[in-house]
Chain A
């Protein structure tokens, strides 16, 4: 479909003026609403679908300065930089001449949550196309002004240039608020072979401030007159505040206010340490009635598989002629695991003239705004949420709750900016955890050593309890007039939650995959990086190795045998080559080699990881010696940024896989600091991690922030099995479990 652009010139002003343009595409986009639409219009790509106007994404001022808007948030993945690269490339401007504005309910598009590795796919795509279309628009306008054919013009460094050297800058062509035109479904994107900015490892724009003490995080915000608040959380889920003498607390040095609203308890002070001391005193003064309601921590397999569940067959494949001769089965388990953000959650809120502003590191400013508005019982339009970076969140941590805390407290101190900082123990105890999961696998091999049938069942809670809905937030749950926790829902496929990556990417003649969705949540849960994919890929890829061993086959060869997807095959080959994987290889004494592969969600980035692990037979201690990964994320925007993400994914997944489990007794969460929830330290860092990027110029962006977690886990598990001859299936694969397996 070709575009016919009708420039409807209502006003033209030279220099600092405005050019209002609207263009129509075809009948489907006709202004005349009465015209019948024959078929649904193709939507513009990425998030443009939901936010179609170009000026929602790109703004060009008369002085030529360019602002790019994204509804996504910088979480430390380098998006701000990547988006700046994308826009600079398609607009043909210098990288440094752009500013990127991120998630702000007043200024940026609503792109839901920064999650699911969707940012480059959705927002990056939108920005790329919007920028390309803006550039086309500017060229067309320059053509009109210079009375030259558009095809004879080119763009460079923020100007349109003619063959005879005439130069019109973007700022001269268009002024603010003028790009209010709908995006078209197709854009004239630049040929990747000509890329000057995209595909280059530009240095991250946010790092300089972070290494020189610049204000970079919400924790660094200091507004005039700002006061410090601390929440006193209940000791356990459902605890009721029975008494609390707040009078004495109000008299403590620096205390401005004590807030008590049902079970929500907080203290506000002038200085931060005064707030901390007052919090300790308030906690000591508070008496709670608790209810034991937590399951038995070592019994999660039985607990999860016996809770009521909604069972759904999510994949079925049948070929009766494929018959197996050897069948094996295995059960894999994962405990609750913690995001463990290094910086406990923080938010700043200010309530002025009936308008609430909250600065927060939430992953979703729009849904969180809706939740906070509902909690405060005010119209959403009166609440503004602005994303400011926090420390890495890796999913739904305490950020949204801290934002709600700040709003609730700020409302009681009109005009005064209130900063709420969670304590370490609060973040550990109250964040919503990655859900515990159980998978049961059964498969058969035929006479030729190929898999003839495959059965996979997964038990899991929901992997998303994010706000919208006030009831998702602790403050709203604990208030005197509380909001009920919303009923959990499964995230639909192809994304999935507990069933994310449950459907194998391999081709099996017979396959049957069942998702047992468990609504009851005795422990607070929500999204944690990779969601169900971490455990599902761990299970699938461990089991593939178990099958390969049963078939007497090399693990890499075995996977290739069952995989059609050519990009997947390339990634497997690349990782194997980089590792120098040899069929029939034997690892050195006390060491093992492992391999694993997955395509995140079967539609995002591909990742394969090969590892060498050493296991100390005396102690059981596993040590990652080296890892080699390969990743295909489509068109790579910033190769170094991508490598950084994969390195990080391997390290983080190793920590989850070897060490981590939330602990609790029958009433309280007991893993409440780094003593009781240990994570990776430098003594476990490997000798080397290599990441090979397979760039696919011109291909769609594929989300990569979560693609490494599952393969890294399985690769390490497979290496441990190779080193010890023992297969471990219950996460985490601790030193003691390995030692017990060796001794058994």
Chain B
């Protein structure tokens, strides 16, 4: 039995300690966003955020996660209240089959959390571990750039709200 903190909630996980986080998320906690693409750390579809950093959940066993905070796409926002990255991907219609997208978004989110104004080159380098077979790359890049602007305005508006108080 292990306690795993996912999206701000504690979960009691009854799984072998060598279970990759991907299966804990999907099979035990019933979350959908992190996907099985290869299980080998080669494609990025399983990417989630652990303690602020993007990780490949298919090669991250449960036993590494004691005391760490896991964030999945579900933890960023919902249909009713989407996070800037989610809004950006919808507004850019940055998906064809969409299977790779959750992983891309988590990687981008982790990047923007530590560098709010990456260059196009930095974004491309950051997404290197990720495969997209449908060829949605151009839109994914546009969506990340859009997310930068959305996060910027969100910060700006909350800052002006604060100063207005």
**Which 7 pairs across A and B sit closest by C-beta, in order of nearness?**
A651-B135, A76-B97, A391-B99, A648-B135, A392-B97, A213-B33, A213-B74
Q: Judge whether B38 and A673 touch: CB under 8 Å.
A: yes
* Whole-angstrom distance between the Cβ of B23 and the nearest chain A Cβ: 5
Decide: A206 near B98, CB < 8 A? Known: A640-B93, A647-B138: yes
Q: Mark B134-152, 1 if CB is under 8 A from A, else 0.
A: 1111110100000000000
Please report the C-alpha to C-alpha distance between residue A449 and residue B139 in the assembled complex, in whole angstroms: 42
Interface residues of A in 671-701 (CB under 8 A from B): 673-675, 679-683, 685-686, 688-689
Q: A421-B36, A424-B40, A685-B124 are in contact. Are A211 and B137 (CB under 8 A)?
A: no
Interface of A is mostly: loop
A647 with B36: CB separation less than 8 A: no
With contacts A204-B95, A273-B27 taken as known, whether A343 is within 8 angstroms of B35 at the C-beta atoms is yes
Q: Is the CB of B90 within 8 A of A208?
A: yes
Chain B binding surface, main DSSP class = loop
User: 16 interchain pairs (CB within 8 A)?
Assistant: A207-B95, A212-B82, A212-B86, A273-B15, A273-B19, A342-B100, A389-B97, A391-B99, A641-B93, A644-B136, A644-B139, A649-B135, A651-B136, A679-B131, A681-B128, A685-B124
Residues of B within 8 A of A674 (CB): 38, 40, 42-43, 131
Query: In the complex the two chains form, what is the Cα distance from A404 to B72 in whole Å?
Result: 33
Q: Which residues, 365 to 416 on A, are CB-close (under 8 Å) to B?
A: 389-392, 394
What's the Cα separation between A421 and B35 when bound, in Å? 12
Asked if A75 and B43 sit within 8 Å, CB to CB, the answer is no
- Is B26 positioned at the interface, with any CB of A under 8 Å from its CB? yes
Answer yes or no: B161 CB below 8 A from chain A CBs.
no
Q: Which residues of B contact A (CB under 8 A)?
A: 15-16, 19-20, 23, 26-28, 30-33, 35-40, 42-43, 45, 72-74, 77-79, 82, 86, 89-90, 93, 95-102, 105, 124-125, 127-128, 130-139, 141
CB–CB A214/B79 < 8 A: yes
Q: For residues 45 through 74 of chain A, which have their beta carbon under 8 Å from a beta carbon of chain B? A: none
Assembled-state Cα–Cα distance A105/B131 (Å): 33
Residue A231, interface by CB 8 Å: no
Q: Is residue A493 contacting chain B, with contact meaning CB distance below 8 A?
A: no
Chain A residues with CB under 8 Å of B79's CB are: 208-209, 212, 214
Q: Which A residues lie within 8 Å of B95 (CB)?
A: 76, 204, 207, 210-211
Known A-B contacts A215-B32, A216-B32, A343-B35; A685 and B137 likewise in contact (beta carbons under 8 Å): yes
Contacts of B39 in A (CB 8 A): 276, 423-424
Residue of B nearest to A647 (CB): B138
A647-B32 contact, Cβ under 8 Å, with A208-B79, A212-B79, A392-B96: no
Which of the candidate stretches A82-90, A217-225, A461-469, A540-548 sits at the interface with the other chain?
A217-225
Q: Which of B82, B133, B139 contacts A679 (CB 8 A)?
A: B133
Excluding A76-B96, A343-B36, 4 further A-B contacts by CB distance (< 8 Å) are: A212-B82, A216-B32, A342-B43, A344-B37
A729 at the binding interface (Cβ < 8 Å): no
**CB neighbours of A341 from chain B (8 A):** 133
Contact between A644 and B93 (Cβ–Cβ < 8 Å)? yes
Q: Are A675 and B42 in contact (CB under 8 A)?
A: yes
- Do B37 and A211 have beta carbons less than 8 Å apart? no
A650 in contact (CB, < 8 A): yes
Q: Is B133 in contact with A652, judged by CB distance below 8 angstroms? A: yes
Q: Which of A253, A645, A682 touches B137 (beta carbons < 8 Å)? A: A682
The closest CB in chain A to the CB of B82 belongs to A212
Q: How many contacting A-B pairs (Cβ < 8 A)?
A: 181
Which residues of B sit under 8 angstroms from A645, Cβ to Cβ?
96
Query: In the complex, how many angstroms separate the beta carbon of B22 from the nearest chain A beta carbon?
Result: 9
How many chain A residues sit at the interface, stated as a range, is 35 or more
Does A203 have its Cβ within 8 Å of any Cβ on chain B?
yes
- Cβ B131 vs Cβ A207 within 8 A: no
Contact residue among A208, A211, A253 (Cβ-Cβ distance under 8 Å from B102): A211
Flag whether A107 is at the interface (Cβ < 8 A).
no
Contact B32 A214 (CB under 8 A): yes
Q: A647 CB to closest chain B CB, in angstroms?
A: 6
Q: Are A211 and B124 in contact (CB under 8 A)?
A: no
Complexed CA–CA distance, A273 and B23 (Å): 7
**Could you say which residues of chain A place their CB within 8 Å of the CB of B42?**
424, 673-675
Most buried by A among B28, B32, B101: B32
Indicate the member of B26, B38, B97, B132 with the most A CB atoms within 10 Å: B97
CB-based contact B137/A651 at 8 Å: yes
Q: Are A203 and B93 in contact (CB under 8 A)?
A: yes
Judged by a CB distance under 8 angstroms, whether A77 is at the interface is yes
- A207 touching B128 by the CB < 8 A rule? no
* Closest chain B CB from A623 CB (angstroms): 12
A 161-217 contacts with B by CB, 8 A: 201, 203-204, 206-217
A342 B132 Cβ-Cβ under 8 A: yes
The reply to whether the CB of A710 lies closer than 8 angstroms to some CB of chain B is no
A685–B120 Cα gap in the complex (Å)? 11
When chains A and B are docked, how far (Å) is the Cα of A683 from the Cα of B74?
29
Across the interface, do A424 and B38 meet the contact criterion of CB distance under 8 Å?
A: yes
Least distance between A75 CB and chain B CB atoms (Å): 7
Most buried by B among A212, A641, A649: A212
C-alpha spacing A383/B125, complex, angstroms: 48
B86: which A residues are within 8 A, CB to CB?
Answer: 211-212
Q: Does A490 contact B (CB under 8 A)?
A: no
Closest chain-A Cβ to B34's Cβ sits at a distance in Å of 9
Q: Is the CB of B131 within 8 A of A648?
A: no
A711 in the interface, Cβ–Cβ < 8 Å?
A: no
Q: How far is the CB of A229 from chain B (nearest CB, A)?
A: 13
CA distance A606 to B122 in the complex (A): 36
Q: Chain A nearest CB: distance from B49 CB in Å?
A: 13
A212: chain B residues at CB < 8 Å are 33, 73-74, 77-79, 82, 86
Q: Do A650 and B27 touch across chains, with their CB atoms under 8 A apart?
A: no
A271→B27 contact, CB < 8 A:
yes
Tell yes or no: A340 within 8 A of B by CB.
yes
Chain B residues whose CB sits within 8 angstroms of the CB of A648 once the complex forms: 96, 134-136
Cβ of A272 within 8 Å of any chain B Cβ, yes or no, is: yes
A77 touches B96 (CB 8 A): yes
- Nearest chain B residue, comparing its CB with the CB of A222: B30
Query: Which residues of A lie under 8 Å from residue B16 when comparing CB positions?
Result: 253, 273
CA distance A343 to B134 in the complex (A): 12
**Does the CB pair A210–B102 fall under 8 Å?**
yes
Check B127–A220 contact: CB distance below 8 A.
Answer: no
Contacts of A75 in B (CB 8 A): 97
Return chain A residues, CB-CB under 8 Å to B36: 219, 343-344, 421
A26 CA to B101 CA, complexed, in Å? 53
B20, B125, B130, B136: most-surrounded residue (chain A CB, <10 A): B136
Q: Do residues B98 and A76 form an inter-chain contact, with CB atoms below 8 A?
A: yes
User: Is the Cβ of A343 less than 8 Å from the Cβ of B89?
Assistant: no
Contacts of A206 in B (CB 8 A): 98
Nearest-Cβ distance from residue B25 to partner chain A, whole angstroms: 10
Residues in A with CB closer than 8 Å to B125 are 682-683
Query: Considering the chains assembled together, what is the distance between the CA atoms of A649 and B138 in angstroms?
Result: 12
Cα–Cα distance between A80 and B90 once the two chains are bound (Å) = 16
* Chain B residue with Cβ nearest A686: B138
B28 to chain A, nearest CB (A): 8
Known: A212-B78, A392-B96. A207 touches B26 (CB 8 A): no
Q: Are A394 and B133 in contact (CB under 8 A)?
A: yes
CA gap between A644 and B135 in the complex, in Å: 9
The CA-CA distance from A645 to B93 in the complex, in Å, is: 12
